[in-house]
Amino acid sequence: MAQAIPFRQASPLKASCHQCSLSNLCLPLAIEENDLDRLEDIVQQGRIFNRGEHIFDQSTPYRSCFAVKSGSIKTSIITENGEEQVTGFFMPGELVGLDSIGSEHYACTAKALERTSVCEFPMEKLEELTGKLPELQHHMYHLMSQEIQNSHQLAMLLSKNTAEERIAALLLSLSSRFQRRRMSPTNFSLPMARNDIANFLGLAVETVSRVFTRFQNQGIIKARGREVELLDIEALQMVSREFSRQCNN
């Protein structure tokens, strides 16, 4: 009787990378096709978190970084006063946890804003792989550089800008990020609630609502709940121009 040949399941990472619209944003961007199997060996793909569930918690041992496959994630820290401070929002194709590289513990808490799928990259194995694949190592350095730049821009945003400039800058950032994902840059749903926006930008919730209303009355945006349409990109750019100038100095 002929011996049955064991069935080997097709590589889920390789199939998804070829089909995924985020392939130009995520880690496989830096991997040659014949090296995808090596990345597949270390990645845990398709982990699902429901809204409100934690991907990782501040001060817990640092083990992995995570690529958002679908959904969205909020990161935050607990201040010395025991209050939550939102530090960022992450969308599909973006990596969460890079700010903790080189540390023994996570620098923040990451929580799903909606039903979210992630790919987990254990850092010990990823660091070993980057040592063998220079292109992947270069891409990781690029991502960490972006993380530092984003932190600098956030510090500038929170220290010197008006409420209008802060919200305009956030809307333009979201617009650009949706466009990179080949989605509409002018019609999108905010992944975060108004109170998270207020916390992130260092504003009162009432101030955020007033600015949204003011922008709407000026014909710059149209907003209904979390649904936003940017009617006048140039007007938003004019509002945030001072912020951009300061960041480039």
Q: Give 12-135's CATH code, choosing from 1.20.1050.10, 3.40.50.300, 2.60.40.1180, 2.60.120.10.
A: 2.60.120.10
Beta carbons of 72 and 181 less than 8 angstroms apart:
no
Rg (CA), the chain: 20
**DSSP secondary structure letters along 176-237:** HHHHHTTS-SSEEE-SS-HHHHHHHHT--HHHHHHHHHHHHHTTSEEEETTEEEES-HHHHH
Which CA distances in Å does 135 have to 13, 131, 142, 244? 18, 10, 11, 31
Is the pLDDT reported for residue 177 higher than 50?
A: yes
Q: pLDDT of 126-143, one tens digit each?
A: 888 888 888 888 878 878
Nearest one of 146, 132, 34 to 90, comparing CA atoms: 146
Q: What is the mean pLDDT of residues 60-67?
A: 94
pLDDT value at residue 31: 66
CATH topology of domain 157-248: Arc Repressor Mutant, subunit A (1.10.10)
Tell me the pTM.
0.82
Enclosing H/E stretch for 116: strand 116-122
Q: Where are the domains of the chain?
A: 12-135, 157-248
DSSP 27: G
Beta carbons of 73 and 43 less than 8 angstroms apart:
no
